[in-house]
């Protein structure tokens, strides 16, 4: 039988298994990236919160707590970025069972690990993204009376999210591929499924050629879709002028409105 014959046979017999593996890979990448994005945003916001408010460098319960939390977060980031995800998977899956008596499924452990791992990378990406927002934006926001949180929510984070979109997309693509290491704890994603199929016929090459094609399809499509998304977030490249005929009408409305409204404050 030629390679093509084998491929055809594998696809005919095991397409549901390939499909299921591909589905898990996609799911893991989505959960890991979305969960990691949320973790990263939260950590990034905490780590860029000023220790002191109002300029007084006076130590308060708040500043002490914040320092402790920051230290813990720094350790989390260092550990998860400094060890292989494969090792993290083993430690979490067997560790939870061994030390905490928690018996979670390998899929649940896999989702947990890929989320925590992505979160550590995203935390650094978000922090960089927040710091790269022009300080003038924050100053302008404060100058109209916004608090730190209002500034974050309305000005800094929207710009940060736009800025880190390419890096987040990259994390997603990395997750599509690197979720394969979760096979070490028997998460039935694409790599693990392929290994199972391989061992039935002892043919390695063809099943993995199929797997590679599926991975490539995923990564290629995602990068195209992400680019589209970035374009859409930038909005139209030109604006429409409001015809001057409508502005006097608006102003008239406005005056009528102001005449009728009681002034607050």
Partner 1 sequence: MPHQKDALSQHVIEVRGLHKSFGDNPILKGIDLQVSAGEVVSIIGASGSGKSTFLRCINLLEWPTSGEILFQGENVLERGYNIPAYREKVGMVFQQFNLFSNMNVLQNCMVGQIKVGRKSKEEARLTAMDYLEKVGLAQYIHAKPRQLSGGQQQRVAIARALCMEPEALLFDEPTSALDPEMVGEVLKVITDLAHTGLTLMVVTHEMAFARDVSDRVLFMDDGVIAEEGEPAGIFTNPKSERLREFLTRFLS
The Cα–Cα gap between 22 and 180 comes to 11
The Cα–Cα gap between 181 and 227 comes to 27
| 260 contributes a contact to partner 1 by CB under 8 A | no
For 18-31, give one letter per residue: b (16+ CB within 10 A) or e. beebbebbbebbeb
Within 13 A of 28's CA, how many CA atoms are on the CB side?
A: 33
| 131 contributes a contact to partner 1 by CB under 8 A | no
Answer whether 179's CB lies under 8 Å from 107's CB: no
Other CB atoms within 10 Å distance of the CB of residue 174:
17
| 100 contributes a contact to partner 1 by CB under 8 A | no
Per CB under 8 A, the list member of 4, 136, 259, 260 interacting with partner 1 is 136
For 62-75, give one letter per residue: b (16+ CB within 10 A) or e. eeeebeeeeeebee
Of 2 and 262, the one with the shorter C-beta distance to partner 1 is 262
Task: Give the shortest CB-126-to-partner 1 separation in angstroms.
Answer: 16
Of 85 and 156, the one with the shorter C-beta distance to partner 1 is 156
| 144 contributes a contact to partner 1 by CB under 8 A | yes
Using the structure block, give the residue that is written with the tokens 């990378």.
121
Per CB under 8 A, the list member of 34, 42, 155, 196 interacting with partner 1 is 155
| 251 contributes a contact to partner 1 by CB under 8 A | yes
Per CB under 8 A, the list member of 142, 177, 198, 203 interacting with partner 1 is 142
Q: Per-residue x/- marks for partner 1, 51-80, CB under 8 A? A: ---xxx------------------------
Q: Which of residues 208-247 bind partner 1 (CB under 8 A)?
A: 235, 238-244, 247
Per CB under 8 A, the list member of 61, 143, 228, 259 interacting with partner 1 is 143
Answer whether 218's CB lies under 8 Å from 22's CB: yes
Give, in order, the Cα–Cα distances in Å from 4 to each of 8, 15, 194, 209: 6, 15, 17, 11
Residues contributing to the site for partner 1 (CB under 8 A): 54-56, 134, 136-137, 139-147, 150, 154-155, 158-159, 162, 235, 238-244, 247, 250-251, 253-254, 257-258, 261, 264
């Amino acid at each position: 039988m030629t390679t093509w014959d084998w491929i055809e046979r594998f696809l005919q017999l095991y397409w549901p298994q390939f499909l299921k593996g591909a589905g898990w890979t996609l799911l893991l990448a989505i959960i890991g990236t979305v969960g990691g994005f949320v973790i990263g945003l939260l950590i990034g916001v905490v780590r860029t919160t000023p220790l002191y408010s109002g300029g007084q460098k006076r130590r308060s319960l708040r500043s002490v707590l914040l320092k402790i939390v920051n230290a813990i977060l720094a350790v989390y980031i260092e550990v998860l970025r400094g060890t292989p995800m494969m090792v993290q998977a083993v430690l979490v899956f067997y560790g939870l069972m061994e030390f905490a008596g928690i018996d979670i499924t390998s899929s649940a452990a896999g989702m947990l690990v890929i989320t925590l791992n992505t979160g550590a990378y995203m935390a650094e990406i978000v922090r960089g993204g927040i710091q790269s927002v022009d300080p003038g934006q924050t100053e302008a926001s404060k100058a109209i009376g916004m608090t730190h949180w209002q500034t974050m929510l309305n000005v800094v984070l929207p710009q940060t999210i736009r800025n880190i979109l390419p890096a987040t997309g990259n994390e997603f693509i990395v997750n599509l591929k690197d979720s394969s290491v979760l096979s070490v704890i028997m998460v039935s994603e694409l790599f693990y499924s392929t290994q199972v199929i391989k061992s039935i016929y002892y043919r390695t090459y063809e099943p993995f050629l199929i797997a590679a094609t599926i991975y490539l399809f995923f990564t290629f499509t995602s990068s195209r879709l992400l680019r589209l998304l970035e374009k859409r977030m930038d909005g139209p490249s030109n604006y429409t002028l409001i015809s001057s005929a409508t502005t006097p009408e608006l102003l008239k409305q406005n005056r009528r409105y102001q005449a009728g409204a009681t002034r607050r404050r």
